[in-house]
Amino acid sequence: MSERPYIVGNWKMHGSRAMLSEARAIDRAAERLMKVEVAIAPPFTLIHATRKEAALIGVGAQDCHAAEGGAHTGDISAAMLKDSGAGFVIVGHSERRADHGETDADVKAKAEAALAVGLSVIVCVGETEAERDAGKAAEVVSKQLEGSLPETEQAAEKVTVAYEPVWAIGTGRTPTLEDIGAMHQAIRLRLRGIYGEAADGVRILYGGSVKADNAAEILSIPEVGGALVGGASLTAESFVGIMTAAAERGEG
């Protein structure tokens, strides 16, 4: 597994061309923080421009359609993402699962479509607050992994898992460090069941209210391979704070 922490900004439905200056500033900071692998997933409309503006960081998308093409008005295929300069795609984010009714099977089909055109994928999983309160967090996440992870050959080399508890997204609340560590360990075990030894190369990111001031402690958890960041990725100032915390861990 790459030892470099992987810090990914998910811009969600935010961003206009004016925000390309933030992408440029993030890219400049990445130049001096080489111990961190950095990427951003802007909205579809900014992927091509971001790729042109940013030389070092990864640029990806937040979703794709599972089909290669066809009569799917308003949708974007994995091949189109690749053509616009994306190197990866996030699939199965809880906002897509909730807003668009995406099932595990949908997420898996999207992930496999992305891999088929050579994109890397970040597969998101995470329990709701009610599921955690019912003591079902590990069970829910395990089931999501089994249903959502692509099973094509070599998938493990191109897959990153993001554990994002739904109740921690955009709320300022995070699980305890112990809970994050325990869930990441449970995810690793499930990954071994699915991918065998290759699972040890899969990075597992934590996402949900990661900020510059809690990134260092979250990234100090040995099982945490990086972070998927929403709100705090929208300005270079806050995102570079997280990248800097990750670089310090990279040196530790």
Residues contributing to the site for ligand 13P (CB under 6 A) = 10, 93, 164, 169-170, 207-210, 228-232
Burial of 35 (0-12, 13-18, 19+ CB in 10 A): middle
Q: Which of 65, 93, 102, 127 is catalytic?
A: 93
**CB-wise, 92 or 181, nearer to ligand 13P?**
92
Nearest approach in angstroms of CB 61 to ligand 13P is 13
* Sequence-distant (≥ 6) Cβ neighbours of residue 214 within 8 angstroms: 174
| Alpha carbon distances (Å) from 103 to 119, 161, 244 | 21, 16, 36
Q: Which is nearer to ligand 13P, 192 or 211 (CB)?
A: 211
**How far apart are the two ends of the chain, measured CA to CA in Å?**
17
3-state secondary structure of 117: coil
The verdict on whether 217 is a catalytic residue reads: no
Nearest residue to ligand 13P on Cβ basis: 230
DSSP state of 100: S
Query: Please, which residue, 90 or 156, has the CB nearer to ligand 13P?
Result: 90
d(CA 113, CA 116): 5
Tell me how far, at minimum, the Cβ of 241 lies from ligand 13P, in Å: 13
CB of 232 to ligand 13P, least distance (A): 6
Decide whether 159 or 200 has the Cβ nearer to ligand 13P: 159
93 is catalytic: yes
Active site residues: 93, 164
